[in-house]
Each structure stands twice: as C-alpha cells, then as structure tokens.
Amino acid sequence: MDAAPSGTVSYPSHWEADVVLADGATAHLRPILPADAERLVEFYARVSDRSKYYRFFAPYPTLTSRDVDHFTNVDHADRVALILLVGDDMIAVGRYERVNRTEAEVSFLVEDGHQGRGVGSVLLEHLAQAARERGLRRFVADILPANRKMITVFADAGYTVDNSYEDGVVHVEFEITPTGPSLEVMAAREHRAEARSIERLLTPRSVAVVGASRSRDKVGQTLVRNLVLSGFTGPVYAVNRAARAITGLPAYRSVRDIPGEVDLAVVAVPADAVTDVVLDCAAKGVRGLVVVSSGFAETGEPAGRSRQAELVRLARAHGMRIVGPNCLGIVNTDPEHSLNASLAAVLPPPGRVGFFSQSGALGSAILGDGAARGLGLSTFVSAGNRADVSGNDLLQYWRDDPATEVVLLYLESLGNPRKFSRLSRAVAEVKPVVAVKSGRSTQGVPLGHTVRPIEAPAPALDAMFRQSGVVLVDTISEMFDVAQVLAYQPLPAGRTVAVMGNSGALCLLAADAAVSAGLDVYGDPLSFGAGATADDYRTALATLMAEPDVASVLVVYAPAVDASSGDDVAQTIAEVVAGAAKPVVGTFQGHRGVRGPGQLPSYPSPEEAARALGHVTAYAEWRRRSHGSVPAVDGCDAETATRTARGAYVAVRVAQTAEAGSPGGTEPGGAEHHAEPVDLDPDRLRSLLATYGVDLLPMRPAPTLDDALAAAAELGGEVVLKATAPRFRHRPDLAAVWRNIDHPDEMRAAWATLTGTIADPAGAEFVVQPMAPPGVPVVVQAWEDPMFGPVVSFGVSGVASELLGDRSYRIPPLTDRDAAEMVREVKAAALLMGYHGGIMADLKAVEDLLHRMSRLVDDVPWVQSVELNPVLVGESGLAVVNGSARVAPPAGRQDWYTRRLT
C-alpha cells in the first residue's frame, strides 16, 4: 500500500468504535482531538507513578502544556492517537508515530484501575488497522523488562514478534499484516468478551424494574409480577417516582436510591424519559439494560431514530449492553436464576433450546406455541429494535453455554451478515442452529432496525445460511418442528428412513413425503393394519431400530373411530426410543409437540414429520462431512492489486476533474474520495487480474476495417472479430462473432458480413481477439455487497441461465469444498461433465479461478466488482475471454480486522 501523504488529513470518523472489553463491559474508542486536552490531564493525574515510569522510562509526574499540545494535536496519518472512554473519562491512550515509510513506533498508557480488562489488546488491534490504512507494515516498541503486561500484549497478539534486549530495554518488532494466528487470537478474544457481556445480562444477581406500576394492566406491573412469580433468586427492586410500594415491594424514586447493587435494569418508562434512566443506571453501576419501552426508531420518525441512537450511545459509553428497545424481554430458566424479565404471560418449561427473536410483537405468540408443544427453553431473548444486542451476540454466548444444545433464531434483519456467517458456522459445528429469516424475498428491513438492506440476491442469502450449516426454514412453526427432533432425538447417521404404521394409506403418504424431503425410504413401508396394538408397535419398532441400514424411523398412527387417542401407543414408542441411538418421529393425527418419557416428537401429518426429519438429516450430513480448508493459492499479490486498483481509480478521477476544469488530487475531497466507482478499461483489467494469476485474452478495439487488420497482424495467429456492445453480449441468437480468421482477406470478408448484417455497425464496438480454445462458457462474478462484504457467484454463461437464475453463491473465504460444491450445484453443471457427448471440462481449473476471484475481492476492498464472462472451460485449462471490473475507495467493512460493536 502506498504511504499516506504527510500533513494533517481529515478526522477519520470511521476509526470510532464501541468495543466490548474482556469483562463484558463496553467502552468507546476514537481518535484523540485537541479538545481532549483537559481530559488527558485528568487521565494522566489518575495514572500511577509506576505506570508513568513504564511509559516514559523516567519519573514524569505531570504533563507540561507543551506535552498536552503535542499529544492531543495529531495529523491522523504519521502521528495517530486513539483514546478509550468510559462515560466522559479517558481510561487509556494508544499511539503510533511513523519512523519511516513502512514502520512506526507504538506505545500505550492505561489507567491502573482498568488494567487487566483487555484494553491494551483492543488498542493494538485498532492502531494496527489505522496504520495499515496509512501504508504502514510494521510496529516497533521499546519496553522496560519490568513492564510484563505490555510485553504480554504484544506476545499474545498472534503476530510474529521479534524481541531483543539491549541497554536494559526490550526492543519489540513485528509485522502488522493480519495473519491466520492473529485473526484467530482476535476472534477468540471477541468471542470471550461478547459471550461474557451476554452472560452478565442473563445471569443478574439483582434486578430493578424502572417504571414499575401499581396498575395490573400496566407494563411495569406485569414485569414486576413475572419476575417475582418466576422465582427469581435475587432481589427485585421497584422504581416508581410516586409510589411507596409495588405489589408488596418497597418502591424507590430512582435507581440511585436503591440501597443494594443492581446488575440489571428493566426499563418501562416513556421513551423521552429513558435517557435520564440510563444516566441513573450508569451512576449506580448497572451492568445491563432491557428496554421494553416503545417510541424509538420503530416509529419511523426522525425523533424516534434520534432517541434510539442516543440511548445506544449513552449506554455503551457507560459500559452497558442493551436489549431492545421495544422488546418483549429476556428469560433464563436455569433454577440458579429463574429469570423472567419479560412481558410473556406463558413460558415454555425449562429445556435445552436457546431462542432469539427480533420481534417483540410476535414474541408472546412464539413462546406460547413453544409452551403448547412442551418444547423446553434454556434462555430466550427478544431484541425488539435490535439497537445493540443482536443474534450475533447470542451466538457467541450459546456456543459454549452447557445448558443450550439447540439454537433457534427468528431474524427480521441482519446487521452484520459477514460476522453472522462466521459465528453461525462456528456454532453449527458443535450444536444445531435453526433460523427463520423474514423478508428473504424482498430483503426488506423493518422499521426500527437501523441497518441497510442487503443488495445481494435472495439466493446469495440462502447460500450463506447453507454454507454456515444453519438449518434455514420458512416458518416459525417449521422451526419448532425441527427443534423438536434436534432437542429430544439423536442425529441420524444416514439418509435412510424406515416408515411404519397402522394405515397403509398414511404410510404411503409418509414415504412420498420422505422422498420429497430428500430422504431414502428403507424397503416398503411396514403397515400392520388398523387393529395394531401398542405391543405390535413395540415389536416392529425394535426390529427396525436394530436394522443397521436404517438411520431413522417415521411412525404413523391413525386412530380408528372407536379407538383411543393413541396415548398408549405414543407411550410405548417413547419408552422404546428413550436413550436410543437413532431418531424416531411420529405422526399422531391432530397432535403437535413432544410426548412420553423419551420425548417423542409428534406431528399432525406425515408431511410435517418427514420435512422436519429431512432438515435434521441434512444438518447431520453437513456436520459429519469435512468442510474442507482454505487452500494455498500461488500468484496472489494483494499489495500490487491494491496499487493497481487505486492507481486506476485516481488516474480516471484526475482526468475527469481536469476535464471539468476543477483541481483534482488524491487528498481528502480530491479524486480518491469521489464516491462514484470507475470502470476499468481492458488493459487495466488485464493488469489487475494478472496480480491474482488470471490471464485475460488481449483485446484490441477495431472501430474501422483498417484497425481490425492492424490488430489481427499485431496479435498473430487465428483471431476473432466480434461486436461487444451491450445489446450483443451473451446473445447467441445474434450473429455478432466471426471466428478462425487467419488472413487479411478473411478479415475483410468477416468485416463486410458483420457490418452488413448488424444494425448500426458504428455502435457495435467491434474488437479483435486471439482465438480461444473451445470449451463450455461459464461466468464468474465477485463483488462487494454493502452489508455482506465480498460475495462470489458461478454459473454457466447464457441467456437461459440468467432467466432461470441458475447461479451458485458463496461468502469468502472459500474452502476447497465450497468451490467444488459451487461448480456442481448449478442445474446446468451437467454441461461441464460430458452431457449429450460434450467434453469433460477441467473442473479443477474452474475451482482455482473461483478461489482467485473470491480472494481478489476479499483481499482488495478497492475492487468493488469483477465479472469474467465468458470463460471457456476446456478439457485441460480454461481461457478468460472477456471481463469487466469496477473500482472505488473502500467504504469500510463491518467485519474488519478489529473488534467493534455494530
């Protein structure tokens, strides 16, 4: 990357971030400003003499006015300083100063009372990211040997650190380019911190209800009543400015007046009063907030959005996470806590399922459905507007929560899909994740969710879920159907299901439904007649469970008109399958839920039972198989690619501003900061692709016959004359290509024919290109989605594939298995595998190209999009015939190389 120009640049607001520290509390990080002079002096006064000595290598009790001016006036390029704030107080500062073009000296100072909270590692991550943006590659630092904490910060960061000892000082040097180990360290720290922040919310020792009411029909009364009746194991405090007691509990005018500590505050006051409550909670040392109040961004009004933004800003600045606003609340059924800090009137029993819902309005109905089924929950969080705590945070918590074995997600929006993909995959490796995503067809975002819509097509979103191992279902009812199997039955070891029951007709329906769900049916369905007894079911089921070729069993029961409801049969089946190694699901007409001691999943129809079992079987297969690894790919040069993309962008913008008669440049406000992307010309595109080992066939414009003849002579050998105007692209029905030209007379004939048959030949945009070897035409696309980050797609080139949407999608980085599945899962993949006597295409070459293009957009944020179309895949190798790309300054990804709350 090029070095940033010396001199002050504009304030880098994108460096600001809310972060979670190691203990789960939050803080705000931002670049230092001259206005921070007084704040810096106050911070320095709180720092111990020992810490000051470690920083300056000498006694340094106070800062002079010259020091303060030097430390607070930085250029955000060669001299950078980031401070960490809790409330209005600075608790730490980290800075670097450029030593040369690629190297900077880094230093930190952390207030003693906040040491050991992971502050140093957070500052190092963000300083390194800022330094990389400014073209730096290496940090150096001198540390006193006694300063073991700072030495540990560098040693544990995951970088390759070189230490040397000279003149009583430890000299540290390391490259700041992200590496596999450094990213793993960052992800592990992020996981621990965010999981801890959710644990603080779900396991409070005390709860205050702010807005508690004496009226039974008010929200504040319901919250107090639900907390008390749930058997919460800690004290419950009622806060009401006018009342002296609420339902037998003493009432306090403010959270500040409560005599004991308060871990969690549940807020149910009017929206315009919430800010004052947050400040009271901050002064009291409250660790988390559940805001059930409405009147925020869900109103769609600017005032509501502003209130929500201020709520989040204040809470995070004072170390608190927020559930909500406009939410139903949170539940933890663990007997050690018995927390029902929600408005839910009916709760499912304690169980193994963790449930996250973004909808407060649907929350009660969803919980009621779960309770009616007997599906037990471990924890429940309703995020409402999802202003702070999100599904990503809960995934971090549930990943290691021993009480949760199944994760359910009802999602209305994805604030950070790239992070969701990474986290959900890590969770799905150890426990199932089942999700319903509303608005998949429209990619719409509900009011109150302050995120941008996803611009990637709906199939890309679905592919992201599949790639991550998430069981994606269409409805909430279907989500619970799948959860019943996952929570109470083992995972199947294969796809073969045996069907048995007392109705031949229902058994046939069940077998058809199983095939539709992607299962293989074992033999013929076993039907033993309407008069079958519970013992008949016991014997048949035991036989099928012992059959090694059977992976699961679907049991059908149809009660006769004069028979019982089947409780005895369900009881018998539940007893047989209790503790068994194979899953069993049942169809008991009219009953949905779990039955008997073995918790047998039951469904009203065979179709629902088979569909749920099909989802579970697909997940079990995903979990059993190897997901591959990200392969090493030679010839990928991210640094040169970045220079190429950035240079092309600046050159075009400088030319454009010069034509417009205004000064250009690459400084802020100049060419580099123009918002519009730039299309690369063929030569620049070839240069960019070459940095990632991809050869684009040369192409020469031929607006006239003489140009075409000259181009053919320059290229030599057999060439192609073709029209490339948009109306001709990927249209085999239009005669716009003449191949196998190897003589000037053939070029003249081709020119005469094409210009004579094409309407408006002057606008056809003719080009001459070398002949490519024959092959199957495919298309590879990669682009930067504003929400997803990088996305890559593959398909067979042509109008039919475009009309039918026959494309596969993945989110980088791609494993070798991801690339192989992308090529094979499109419906037209048979054309690459000898269909109707065609060639057996070189699929490995296609997979290699997918890896290169996915890495290009992943490694080089300057590349906004790239399309290779067509790529001719032969029996050995491939040829990239045509392509396009757009470049633009990076907008900043949500899942960058730093920890931050979004």
Distances (CA, A) of 364 to 343, 439, 832: 8, 21, 51
Contact call for residues 639 and 137 (beta carbons, < 8 A): no
Distances (CA, A) of 877 to 751, 776, 856: 31, 11, 20
Residues contacting 661, CB < 8 A, separation 6+: none
CA 577 to chain centre: 38
Rounded distance, CA 820 to CA 848, Å?
10
CA contacts within 13 A on the Cβ side of 834: 1
Rg (CA), the chain: 32
Pairing of strands 776-785, 863-873: antiparallel
Nearest to 88 by CA among 314, 270, 240, 274: 314
Torsion angle in degrees (nearest 10) through CA of 732, 737, 740, 743: 170
Q: Which pLDDT value is given to residue 1?
A: 32
Rounded distance, CA 40 to CA 539, Å?
79
Contact call for residues 283 and 248 (beta carbons, < 8 A): no
Helices (H), 799-842: 799-804, 816-825
Contact call for residues 270 and 293 (beta carbons, < 8 A): yes
Q: Which pLDDT value is given to residue 664?
A: 46
Residues contacting 662, CB < 8 A, separation 6+: none
- Both tokens of 25, joined, read 């509390």
Q: Which pLDDT value is given to residue 2?
A: 34
Q: In angstroms, how far is the first alpha carbon of the chain from the final one?
A: 27
- Both tokens of 285, joined, read 């040392």
Q: Is 45 exposed, middle or buried (0-12, 13-18, 19+ CB in 10 A)?
A: exposed
Burial 258-270 (b: 16+ CB within 10 A, else e): beeebbbbbbbbe
User: Phi/psi at 116 (nearest 5 deg)?
Assistant: 90, 5
Distances (CA, A) of 397 to 196, 209, 410, 852, 879: 7, 24, 17, 35, 47
Nearest to 480 by CA among 361, 358, 611: 611
What is the DSSP secondary structure assignment for residue 468, as one 8-state letter?
Answer: T
Nearest to 587 by CA among 608, 572, 602, 570: 602
What sign has the CA pseudo-torsion 40, 41, 44, 46?
negative
Q: Which pLDDT value is given to residue 416?
A: 82
CA 884-885-886 angle, to 5 degrees, is: 140
Cross-strand partners of 337:
none
Q: Is 661 exposed, middle or buried (0-12, 13-18, 19+ CB in 10 A)?
A: exposed
Element (H, E) at 94: strand 89-98
What sign has the CA pseudo-torsion 407, 412, 414, 415?
negative
- Both tokens of 662, joined, read 């205004």
Residues of the chain with pLDDT under 50: 1-7, 441-443, 664-674
User: Phi/psi at 44 (nearest 5 deg)?
Assistant: -65, -30
CA 665 to chain centre: 36
Q: Is 61 exposed, middle or buried (0-12, 13-18, 19+ CB in 10 A)?
A: exposed
- Both tokens of 272, joined, read 């315009």
Q: Which pLDDT value is given to residue 532?
A: 87
Nearest to 87 by CA among 123, 111, 64, 55: 111
Rounded distance, CA 406 to CA 131, Å?
41
Q: Which pLDDT value is given to residue 674?
A: 47
Distances (CA, A) of 560 to 589, 769, 894: 11, 76, 59
Q: Which pLDDT value is given to residue 269?
A: 97
Residues contacting 273, CB < 8 A, separation 6+: none
- Both tokens of 721, joined, read 């004359």
What sign has the CA pseudo-torsion 296, 252, 226, 338?
positive
Helices (H), 716-759: 744-757
Rounded distance, CA 363 to CA 862, Å?
42
What sign has the CA pseudo-torsion 874, 876, 882, 885?
positive
Distances (CA, A) of 36 to 33, 93, 839: 5, 11, 69
Secondary structure class of 424 (helix, strand, coil): helix
Considering the entire predicted model, what is its pTM? 0.89
- Both tokens of 641, joined, read 């690619």
Contact call for residues 686 and 721 (beta carbons, < 8 A): no
pLDDT in tens, 217-265: 899 999 999 999 999 999 999 999 988 888 889 999 999 999 999 999 9
Residues contacting 213, CB < 8 A, separation 6+: 219, 220, 221, 240, 243, 246, 268
Contact call for residues 196 and 23 (beta carbons, < 8 A): yes
Contact call for residues 387 and 308 (beta carbons, < 8 A): yes
pLDDT in tens, 318-377: 999 999 999 999 999 999 999 999 998 788 899 999 999 987 667 788 888 888 898 999
Rounded distance, CA 66 to CA 94, Å?
19
Nearest to 776 by CA among 830, 816, 698, 738: 830
Contact call for residues 809 and 825 (beta carbons, < 8 A): no
Contact call for residues 862 and 890 (beta carbons, < 8 A): yes
Rounded distance, CA 12 to CA 130, Å?
9
Q: Which pLDDT value is given to residue 673?
A: 46
What is the DSSP secondary structure assignment for residue 771, as one 8-state letter?
Answer: P
User: Phi/psi at 588 (nearest 5 deg)?
Assistant: -115, 110
Contact call for residues 367 and 348 (beta carbons, < 8 A): yes
Residues contacting 807, CB < 8 A, separation 6+: 457, 459, 793, 794, 795, 801, 826
